Amino acid sequence: MPDKMQAAHEARATEVTDTDYKLYKMISKQQGYNTYELSRKMHWSIGKVYGSVKRLEKSKWIKIERSEKNGRSVLKIMPIKWHEFLTPEEIKDFEETVL
């Protein structure tokens, strides 16, 4: 029985990773969408998108920004840019090697 439980756990972990990665790719292409817009684009439930967005935000792959649309407050979901993962020293080293 433990082997079946382990296999089920691993399958679920893989599914979550795949879901998060698919959503991250969409967020990278469609920057600034909210969870409703993403759920429509992905043909997923809002709950599935929301859960994935929270995992991606916790992992620091995306950030959520508050903005206004048609006089209402909305949350825009934005990917973290590659340079935001680096320290200023690492960026300087990178620029010096490229130039």
Q: What is the pLDDT of residues 25-56, one digit of tens each?
A: 999 998 899 999 999 999 999 999 999 999 99
Among the ranges given (12-21, 38-47, 72-81), the one the predictor scored with the smallest mean pLDDT: 12-21
The model's pTM is 0.67
- List all residues 6 or more positions away from 50 whose beta carbon is below 8 Å from its beta carbon: 35
In the predicted model, is pLDDT for residue 90 greater than 70? yes
So what's the pLDDT on residue 2?
Answer: 64
CA diameter of the chain: 58
Q: How confident is the model at residue 57 (pLDDT cuts 50, 70, 90)?
A: very high
Map out the domains of the chain as residue ranges.
Answer: 2-98
Just give the CATH number of 2-98.
1.10.10.10
**What is the number of other CB atoms lying within 10 angstroms of the CB of residue 35?**
21
So what's the pLDDT on residue 95?
Answer: 77
